[in-house]
Amino acid sequence: MLKGMQIEARQSYAFMARNFNLVKRYWGWEVVWLAYSIANALSVTFIGAGAGEITGQDNINTDFLITYLLIGTLVWHFLSGTFNVISEMIAWERWEGTIEYTLMAPVRRYNQIFGQAAFAVVYILLFTATIGLVVSSFFDLDLSEADLLGALVILLAGSLSFVGIGVVASILPLLYPERGAQMTNIVQAVFLLVSGVYYPVSVLPDWLQTISKLSPATYVLAGMRAALLPGTSDQSLWSYVAPLLLMGVVMLPLGIHLFQRAERYTKRTGKLKRNG
Partner 1 sequence: MVNEGNREPQYKRVTKELQISPDEPALVVSHVYKRFNVASDPWWRRLLPARGAQNGAPEPENVNGNGKSLKARRGKELVTAVNDVSFTVQRREIFGVLGPNGSGKSTLIRLLSTLLVPDEGEIKVFGLDVVKDEMMVKRLINRVSVEAAFFKKLSPQENLLYGARLYGLAGKEADRKARVILKRLGLKESSYSAPMEDMSRGMQQKVAIARAFLTQPILLLLDEPTTGLDPRSKLEVQAVINELRDDHDATILITTHDMNEADALCDRIAIIDDGKIVALDTPENLKKSIRRNGHEPTLEEVFMTLTGKELIEKDDIEGYQPEKILAD
Residues lying near partner 1 in the complex (CB under 8 A) are found at 3-4, 6-7, 10-11, 13-14, 17-18, 21-22, 25-26, 96-98, 100-108, 264, 267-270, 272-273
User: Minimal distance in Å, beta carbon 28 to partner 1?
Assistant: 11
CB closer to partner 1, 4 vs 56: 4
Q: What's the one-letter identity of residue 73? A: T
Listed residue (217, 240, 43) closest to 147, CA to CA: 240
CB closer to partner 1, 213 vs 261: 261
User: Minimal distance in Å, beta carbon 223 to partner 1?
Assistant: 36
User: Minimal distance in Å, beta carbon 19 to partner 1?
Assistant: 10
CB closer to partner 1, 73 vs 111: 111
User: Minimal distance in Å, beta carbon 119 to partner 1?
Assistant: 13
| Segment holding 224, helix H or strand E | helix 216-228
CB closer to partner 1, 18 vs 146: 18
Report the residue count for the chain.
276
* CA separation for the pair 116, 129 (Å, rounded): 20
User: Minimal distance in Å, beta carbon 254 to partner 1?
Assistant: 22
CB closer to partner 1, 74 vs 90: 90
User: Minimal distance in Å, beta carbon 27 to partner 1?
Assistant: 10
CB closer to partner 1, 89 vs 194: 89
* CA separation for the pair 66, 71 (Å, rounded): 9
SS (H, E, C) 180-200: HHHHHHHHHHHHHHHCCCCCC
Evaluate whether 160 touches 77 at the Cβ level (below 8 Å).
no
* CA separation for the pair 243, 232 (Å, rounded): 19
* CA separation for the pair 38, 201 (Å, rounded): 25
C-alpha distance from residue 92 to each of 22, 58, 239 (Å): 11, 50, 37
For the chain, give the longest Cα–Cα distance: 68
